[in-house]
């Protein structure tokens, strides 16, 4: 008993912090419909500010605390809402989620680039009194910092309780949490409530960030991801609705995590992975089994009605341009091939090959996000499954590499189906969360195992050999990658044009309407998920073979997030978008690494913030930019021609008109 309490007590402060963040999550989710995955990033900002002011510049603790929590915190929430999420109020859940993801990827990198640096900062200043006090009571101990966390949380809870119960503003906020639409219909200023919710929840995030860092004894952005997942689990426990349940969930999780890991045997690799992944496993399990989450009947007449996605920019149909394109495209391909094969030095050829391989992986986003409209946050995990399956089969079981690659793709597809099957029951947001939890779980529990990815040591994958053709040479492998990409691209195009693609398009347009003509949306989405996972797995296998060896680091959960925002920025609707993403992934860092060290992660900032434009440009910001510049050129050309009224007969008519005349 005393042992149990001894283990439980250090868990309480963690639980308090999870609870704070979770309450903030629920507040913003209910009031603005945004499931703010960037919460962890917000916490990181304030932790960084606190570290910088109190630690580096030796401000008094209270001043640093006020600035980090009550100035920077609310300011960030206010800016988020006014600059971004205000415009997404009526956007679909997917669009909102992508925007939040963009921030999650871009924001920490921006902070690091701007002043904080990429290294984790050790020994952050504590909020509690320094030097630390250590309180004892019987055989239980707790230090002053932990006490500070608990006290802060109790104060916040009492404050929130007062706000919600006894003020008019709190009443309105509670009404929003109960039924966002009702409030809008009643004409209360839902805008103001939503903004206030953002500000309030951002203060909570800031507080959590400042309190959390000393518990880990470091300021490190990855800790805030764990914090996020734990908070999400707590929020899910509260069914994304009930604040008291959410609070309880957070505390139970914090305590449970400490107690559970203390009772596990040490030293085992599985247990080592298990320790940090308790929140992930719990989130995954909650999503699948928590009865409160069963999709309820829609009780809000408008709740199920997702506004239609914004129309795509009208694709320009200019006769001459299309003719030009028909000539240009093959020319481009031939020149590209010739240059790659005969002119590029080996290092650059390797990079180009890598870009093509990545394009295969990115096609998986074209399928799942572009066609099915679903957010998957474990595409890198699927790629890893493909890669490691190939490696194990080829290296340890003597299977020919090409066959092993196909097997890798198939296994990835299978895993995809197994993940999607239960999660799809609950709808888009939960699918995203479940895939996120799944990615983190696999990262910690599966990929480190020797039979899978063998941790950071990794596994080796030979280059394939097909009869007399040996793909060991970089040129040969380049051609192989190109062939695989071509097959994948055509597969995607065929599927998009075919019945499957049409069904998915219908479901994206209106899921209920699709169902009422007899389409089973779950099945269609699972097919999309399987295809997408297979493509990711195939790409992963190819990547492994290209590099010769891969470790679990190559398929870290963070890549799933980063790749998503990258493809969304370059264009998630087209094959071209996937290719652009592949080349951007490989060559942008190549350009950026000439910059000084802390700017090294600038690509995260670029593409993270690029993805926020998804709402305005669902075809991709890069794709949009391209179309617009083409349009400009065409218009400019037209105007130039109009300005020059040619005397009859002096200018030869365009070939088309010529033909018309002949026929006439």
Partner 1 sequence: MTLLEAVGISKRFGGVTALHDMSIDVEEGEAVGLVGPNGAGKTTFFNCLLGLLHPDAGRVTFKGVDISGQPIHKRARLGIGRTFQRVELFSGLTVAEHLLIAERARQGRGGLLSDLLGGGRPTVDERTRVAEIVDLVGLAGAADVPVEALSLGHARLVELGRALITEPDLLLLDEPSSGLDRVESLALAGVLRTTQERKGTAVLLVEHDLEMVQRVVNRLFVVDSGAVLAAGPCLEVLGDERVRRAYLGRGVA
Ligand X SMILES: Nc1ncnc2c1ncn2[C@@H]1O[C@H](COP(=O)(O)OP(=O)(O)O)[C@@H](O)[C@H]1O
Size of the site for partner 1 (CB under 8 A): 35
Binding partner selected for residue 77 from partner 1, ligand X, none, CB under the kind-specific 5 to 8 Å limit? none
Q: Is 491 in the site for partner 1 (CB under 8 A)?
A: yes
What residues line the site for ligand X (CB under 6 A)? 298-301
Binding partner selected for residue 520 from ligand X, partner 1, none, CB under the kind-specific 5 to 8 Å limit? partner 1
Task: Locate all alpha helices (DSSP H) within 33-189, ordered by sequence.
Answer: 39-50, 61-65, 73-83, 93-111, 144-166, 168-178, 180-185
Return the number of the residue (182 or 351) whose C-beta is nearest ligand X.
Answer: 182
Binding partner selected for residue 521 from ligand X, partner 1, none, CB under the kind-specific 5 to 8 Å limit? partner 1
CB 107 within 8 A of CB 603: no
Among 30, 172, 239, 503, binds partner 1 (CB under 8 A): 503
Binding partner selected for residue 308 from partner 1, ligand X, none, CB under the kind-specific 5 to 8 Å limit? partner 1
- Residue 315: CA atoms inside 13 Å, Cβ hemisphere, count? 7
Pick out residues in 307-336 that bind partner 1 (CB under 8 A).
308-309, 311-312
- DSSP, collapsed to helix, strand or coil, labels residue 19 as helix
Q: Is 2 in the site for partner 1 (CB under 8 A)?
A: no
Return the number of the residue (80 or 529) whose C-beta is nearest partner 1.
Answer: 529
Contact mark string toward partner 1, 99..138, x via CB under 8 A: ----------------------------------------
* Residue number closest to ligand X, CB atom: 301
Binding partner selected for residue 510 from ligand X, partner 1, none, CB under the kind-specific 5 to 8 Å limit? partner 1
Q: Is 505 in the site for partner 1 (CB under 8 A)?
A: yes
Binding partner selected for residue 305 from partner 1, ligand X, none, CB under the kind-specific 5 to 8 Å limit? partner 1
Binding partner selected for residue 329 from ligand X, partner 1, none, CB under the kind-specific 5 to 8 Å limit? none
Among 97, 368, 527, 584, binds partner 1 (CB under 8 A): 527
Return the number of the residue (13 or 373) whose C-beta is nearest partner 1.
Answer: 373
Q: Is 305 in the site for partner 1 (CB under 8 A)?
A: yes
Binding partner selected for residue 499 from partner 1, ligand X, none, CB under the kind-specific 5 to 8 Å limit? partner 1
DSSP string covering 289-336: H-GGGS-PPP-STTTT-PPPPPPPPPPP--HHHHHHHHHHHHHHHHHH
Binding partner selected for residue 169 from ligand X, partner 1, none, CB under the kind-specific 5 to 8 Å limit? none
Question: How many Å is the maximal CA-CA distance in the chain?
Answer: 106
Residue 218 φ/ψ, nearest 5 degrees: -160, 155
Q: Is 502 in the site for partner 1 (CB under 8 A)?
A: yes
Q: Is 508 in the site for partner 1 (CB under 8 A)?
A: yes
C-alpha span between 413 and 386 (Å, rounded): 9
Return the number of the residue (172 or 503) whose C-beta is nearest partner 1.
Answer: 503
C-alpha span between 418 and 402 (Å, rounded): 25
Q: Is 520 in the site for partner 1 (CB under 8 A)?
A: yes
C-alpha span between 485 and 356 (Å, rounded): 7
Residue 189 φ/ψ, nearest 5 degrees: -70, 90
Return the number of the residue (131 or 301) whose C-beta is nearest ligand X.
Answer: 301
Q: Cβ of residue 302: shortest distance to ligand X, in angstroms?
A: 8
Q: Cβ of residue 510: shortest distance to partner 1, in angstroms?
A: 4
- DSSP, collapsed to helix, strand or coil, labels residue 58 as coil
Q: How many of the other CB atoms lie within 10 Å of CB of 481?
A: 25
C-alpha span between 175 and 177 (Å, rounded): 5
- Taken in order 404, 405, 410, 411, the sign of the CA dihedral is positive
Residue 54 is given by DSSP the state I
| Partners of 136 in beta bridges | 141
DSSP string covering 206-254: HHHHHHHHHHHTEE-HHHHHHHHHHHHHHHHHTTTT-HHHHHHHHHHHH
Q: Cβ of residue 499: shortest distance to partner 1, in angstroms?
A: 3
Q: Is 370 in the site for partner 1 (CB under 8 A)?
A: no
Q: How many of the other CB atoms lie within 10 Å of CB of 58?
A: 10
Q: Cβ of residue 509: shortest distance to ligand X, in angstroms?
A: 21
Q: Cβ of residue 506: shortest distance to partner 1, in angstroms?
A: 5
Q: Is 506 in the site for partner 1 (CB under 8 A)?
A: yes
Radius of gyration in angstroms for the set of CA atoms belonging to the chain, rounded to a whole number: 27
Nearest CA among 357, 593, 394, 572 for reference residue 480: 357
Return the number of the residue (300 or 590) whose C-beta is nearest ligand X.
Answer: 300
Q: Cβ of residue 176: shortest distance to ligand X, in angstroms?
A: 17
Q: Cβ of residue 480: shortest distance to partner 1, in angstroms?
A: 20
Q: How many of the other CB atoms lie within 10 Å of CB of 167?
A: 11
C-alpha span between 647 and 643 (Å, rounded): 12
Binding partner selected for residue 187 from partner 1, ligand X, none, CB under the kind-specific 5 to 8 Å limit? none
C-alpha span between 612 and 86 (Å, rounded): 12
Binding partner selected for residue 508 from partner 1, ligand X, none, CB under the kind-specific 5 to 8 Å limit? partner 1
Task: Summarize as ranges the residues that interact with partner 1 (CB under 8 A).
Answer: 297-299, 305, 308-309, 311-312, 491, 494-495, 497-503, 505-506, 508-510, 512-521, 527, 531
């Amino acid at each position: 008993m005393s042992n149990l309490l001894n283990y439980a007590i250090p868990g309480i402060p963690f639980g308090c912090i999870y609870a704070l963040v979770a309450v903030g999550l629920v507040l913003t989710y209910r009031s603005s419909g945004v499931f703010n995955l960037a919460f962890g990033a917000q916490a990181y900002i304030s932790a960084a500010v606190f570290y910088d002011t109190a630690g580096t510049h030796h401000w008094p603790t209270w001043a640093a605390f006020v600035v980090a929590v009550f100035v920077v915190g609310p300011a960030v929430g206010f800016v988020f809402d006014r600059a971004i999420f205000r415009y997404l109020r009526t956007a679909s859940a997917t669009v909102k989620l992508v925007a939040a993801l963009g921030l999650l990827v871009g924001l920490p990198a921006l902070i690091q680039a701007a002043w904080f640096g990429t290294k984790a900062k050790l020994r952050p200043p504590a909020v509690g009194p320094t030097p630390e006090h250590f309180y004892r009571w019987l055989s239980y101990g707790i230090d002053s910092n932990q006490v500070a966390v608990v006290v802060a949380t109790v104060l916040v809870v009492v404050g929130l309780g007062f706000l919600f119960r006894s003020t008019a503003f709190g009443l309105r906020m509670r009404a929003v949490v109960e039924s966002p639409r009702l409030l809008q219909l009643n004409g209360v200023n839902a805008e103001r409530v939503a903004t206030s919710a953002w500000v309030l929840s951002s203060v909570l995030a800031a507080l959590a960030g400042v309190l959390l860092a000393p518990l880990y004894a470091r300021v490190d952005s990855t800790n805030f991801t764990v914090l996020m997942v734990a908070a999400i689990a707590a929020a899910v426990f509260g069914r994304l609705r009930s604040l008291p349940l959410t609070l309880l969930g957070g505390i139970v999780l914090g305590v449970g995590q400490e107690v559970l890991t203390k009772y596990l045997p040490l030293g085992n690799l599985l247990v080592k992975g298990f320790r940090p992944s308790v929140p992930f496993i719990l989130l995954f399990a909650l999503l699948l089994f928590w009865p409160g989450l069963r999709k309820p009947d829609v009780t809000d007449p408008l709740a199920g009605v997702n506004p239609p996605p914004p129309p795509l920019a009208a694709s320009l149909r200019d006769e001459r341009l299309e003719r030009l394109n028909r000539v240009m495209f093959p020319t481009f391909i031939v020149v590209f091939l010739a240059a790659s094969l005969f002119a590029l030095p080996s290092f650059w050829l390797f990079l180009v090959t890598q870009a093509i391989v990545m394009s295969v992986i990115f096609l998986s986003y074209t399928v799942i996000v572009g066609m099915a409209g679903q957010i998957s946050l474990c595409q890198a995990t699927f790629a890893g499954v493909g890669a490691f399956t190939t490696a194990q089969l080829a290296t340890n079981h003597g299977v020919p590499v090409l066959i092993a690659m196909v097997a890798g793709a198939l296994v990835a597809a299978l895993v995809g189906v197994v993940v999607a099957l239960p999660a799809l029951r609950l709808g888009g947001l939960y699918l995203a969360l479940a895939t996120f939890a799944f990615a983190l779980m696999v990262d910690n529990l599966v990929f480190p195992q020797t039979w899978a990815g063998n941790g950071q040591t990794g596994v080796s994958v030979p280059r394939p050999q097909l009869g007399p053709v040996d793909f060991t040479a970089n040129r040969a492998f380049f051609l192989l990658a190109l062939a695989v990409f071509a097959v994948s691209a055509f597969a995607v195009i065929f599927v998009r044009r075919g019945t499957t693609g049409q069904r998915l398009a219908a479901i994206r347009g209106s899921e209920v309407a699709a169902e009422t003509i007899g389409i089973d949306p779950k099945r269609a989405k699972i097919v999309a998920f399987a295809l997408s996972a297979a493509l990711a797995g195939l790409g992963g296998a190819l990547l492994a073979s290209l590099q010769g060896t891969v470790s679990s680091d190559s398929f870290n959960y963070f890549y799933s997030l980063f790749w998503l925002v990258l493809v969304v920025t370059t264009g998630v609707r087209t094959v071209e978008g996937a290719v652009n993403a592949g080349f951007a992934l490989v060559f942008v860092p190549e350009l950026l690494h000439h910059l000084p060290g802390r700017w090294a992660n600038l690509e995260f900032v670029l593409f993270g913030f690029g993805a926020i434009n998804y709402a305005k440009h669902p075809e991709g910001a890069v794709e949009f930019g391209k179309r617009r510049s083409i349009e400009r050129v065409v218009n400019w050309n037209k105007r130039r021609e109009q300005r020059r009224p040619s005397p009859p007969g002096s200018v030869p008519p365009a070939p088309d008109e010529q033909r018309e005349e002949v026929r006439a």
